[in-house]
Structure 1
Amino acid sequence: MFRNQYDNDVTVWSPQGRLHQIEYAMEAVKQGSAVVGMKNATHAVVAAVKRTPSELASYQKKIFAIDEHCGVGIAGLTADARNINNFLQTECLNHRYAFSRPMPLNRLVGTLGNKMQVTTQQESGRPYGVGLLMIGFDHKGPHLIQIDPSANHYECKGMSIGARSQSARTYLEKHLDEYLGAQSVEDLVRHALRALRDTLANDQELSSKLISVAVVGKDHPFQVYDDEVVQELISVVVKEPRAAVRPAQSGFALDADLMEDDDTNRPPPPEPGVSVATAVDQHGRTEAGYSPSG
């Protein structure tokens, strides 16, 4: 039985114990433009690349404000992200109305995880094709949380999702102690911009038209920065040499690389068969017995 006979429905397991529809949703996240998040002792930052579909169109919004104390950066399908953002805003609003205080991040993420997990076990829908990096600040301090289409979520010190995000994660791993010990918000944002620059092609450079940055922290409500404010921080990072040199790659080539792992290029799983075993009884006669293989 071929692989495409197991991926028509999210409720069907493959022989390898995989849900292909969820893996396809994760591939949609990998094809979205990159998002980088990090935190230190007092603040959390998320920076995102604003991709434009053409020269005639405006950029797609990549960072959404949820409440005064939290927000998300997204990679994947923007329409799914707007749906999730509306849900999160409603949950925070209801919590403020009922308890007169901001909603704790762990409770908010748990509620979102329950909503996203339902789509992985009902055949009437599909998983959300978007990955989230949520930043926030509550009574426990700053938070950076990664949320996958599979509804798994992880508390992180630094993380990157989207296209070419591995380059940014390499930077985050090498400079972990530096940004964790950053003394100012400006230093933390510059580290995020340096990591984000590594995800760009060689013929691209950081600019205020390409980058959005959001900051939240102690005595600092969630706020998104664009244009002139970001340009001041970018001007310092642009003068620094790039960490790695890679050949220029167009968006079409990037999508082609991500699609190399397509169904048609994979061999089908082995067909469940039946093996014949022979046994010799006490009189020396052979008896044929059947046992399923695999």
Structure 2
Amino acid sequence: MFKNEYDSDITTWSPTGRLFQIEYANEAVNNGSATVGVKGRDYVVLTALKRSPVAELSSYQEKVFEIDEHVGMSISGLVADGRVLARFLRTECMNYRYMYSDGMPMNQMADMVGEKHQRHIQFGGKRPFGVGLLLAGYDRQGPHLYQTVPSGDVYDYKATAMGVRSQASRTYLEKHFVHFTDCTLDELVVHALKALASATSEGVELNVKNTTIAIVGKDTPFTIFEEESARRYLDEFKMRPEDRVAAADDEEEVLHEQPLDVEE
């Protein structure tokens, strides 16, 4: 009823107390290709599904970006907005390293991204960033996995997923995240791939062309796997049919359950 009158300005609230521009940005995130983050005792793993190109000669769009040697990010939503935020974070990390000869702490970086999101919804003449980020990094406090959303909220997770059909991925993560602290790096990668596979559409299989794997952790800089390294995990990884069926069956049920534990 009021939608057409109140959806053109980010600073205008509808009579029902809604900001439609933020809702549109959230829909862009929810409809983006899926990405999964998993945190263990010493490592964080990011996996992302790249959508197939529309044109035959087009390449897949990258969904994972290195920010600094100790941090990287994956995105879901508008890729162009993700690249803007990646450039912003790279500049801030470079300035911090120049000033302090050390990497920027992860909590400071996550707050900085949240403020960047929030500034775009506080004043007129701008629009929200239509992208959500998973920030994975390792600093003096250990591994970290943060999620940011267009509204400017920042969450600290043990494991999470975003993008289209990500509810199935979260179902898988909710069943297994209590074991992640005891997992080796290889086991974390397999868990992340299984969660990502749960979000794929029927008939789509993970392969080196449409899947990106990245890791960061103790004594391990942020690394995006090349095709040969990724192929080793993808060849070993097989999503059991019962895993996929169980994830689909529980998707409706988990909507009424509590989300993954968020660390204080």
The TM-score normalised by the length of structure 1 is 0.81
1:231 alignment partner in structure 2: 231
Tell me whether 1:77 sits opposite 2:78 in the alignment.
yes
**Aligned 1:10-89 pairs, distance under 5 A:** 10-54=10-54, 55-89=56-90
Q: C-alpha displacement at 1:17, in angstroms?
A: 1.5
Question: Hey, which bits of structure 1, 4+ residues long, moved more than 6 A?
Answer: none
Tell me whether 1:243 sits opposite 2:256 in the alignment.
no
Q: CA separation in 1, counterparts of 2:68 and 2:27?
A: 29
Runs of 5+ in structure 1 lacking a partner? 247-294
The residue identity in structure 2 corresponding to 1:18 is R
Q: Retained in 2: the 8 A contact 1:119–1:125? A: yes
The residue identity in structure 1 corresponding to 2:84 is N
1:107 alignment partner in structure 2: 108
What SS does the aligned partner of 2:216 have?
strand
Q: CA separation in 2, counterparts of 1:181 and 1:18?
A: 43
The residue identity in structure 1 corresponding to 2:67 is I
How many correspondences in the alignment?
A: 245
Q: C-alpha displacement at 1:218, in angstroms?
A: 0.3
Q: CA separation in 2, counterparts of 1:129 and 1:193?
A: 25
Q: CA separation in 2, counterparts of 1:33 and 1:142?
A: 25
The TM-score normalised by the length of structure 2 is 0.90
Q: CA separation in 1, counterparts of 2:165 and 2:239?
A: 22
1:94 alignment partner in structure 2: 95
Q: C-alpha displacement at 1:9, in angstroms?
A: 0.5
The residue identity in structure 2 corresponding to 1:132 is L
Q: Percent identity among equivalent residues?
A: 47
Q: CA separation in 2, counterparts of 1:124 and 1:239?
A: 47
The residue identity in structure 1 corresponding to 2:16 is Q
Q: Retained in 2: the 8 A contact 1:198–1:242? A: no
Q: C-alpha displacement at 1:56, in angstroms?
A: 2.2
Q: C-alpha displacement at 1:133, in angstroms?
A: 0.4
Q: C-alpha displacement at 1:242, in angstroms?
A: 4.8
Q: CA separation in 2, counterparts of 1:167 and 1:86?
A: 31
**Aligned 1:99-178 pairs, distance under 5 A:** 99-178=100-179
Tell me whether 1:206 sits opposite 2:206 in the alignment.
yes
What SS does the aligned partner of 2:223 have?
strand
1:4 alignment partner in structure 2: 4
Q: Map Cα deviations across residues 52-103 of structure 1 (whole Å, 9 max, x no partner).
A: 2223210001000000000000001111111100000000000011111110
Runs of 5+ in structure 2 lacking a partner? 247-264
Q: CA separation in 2, counterparts of 1:242 and 1:202?
A: 14
Q: CA separation in 2, counterparts of 1:113 and 1:239?
A: 35
What SS does the aligned partner of 2:36 have?
strand
The residue identity in structure 2 corresponding to 1:10 is I
1:292 alignment partner in structure 2: none
Over 3 Å counting, the alpha-carbon distance change for 1:242 and 1:83 in structure 2 is: farther
Q: CA separation in 2, counterparts of 1:26 and 1:67?
A: 27
What SS does the aligned partner of 2:241 have?
coil
Over 3 Å counting, the alpha-carbon distance change for 1:230 and 1:64 in structure 2 is: same
Q: Retained in 1: the 8 A contact 2:2–2:14? A: no
The residue identity in structure 2 corresponding to 1:59 is Y
Q: Retained in 2: the 8 A contact 1:145–1:155? A: yes
Q: CA separation in 2, counterparts of 1:66 and 1:196?
A: 22
1:280 alignment partner in structure 2: none
Q: C-alpha displacement at 1:129, in angstroms?
A: 0.4
Over 3 Å counting, the alpha-carbon distance change for 1:174 and 1:104 in structure 2 is: same
What SS does the aligned partner of 2:24 have?
helix
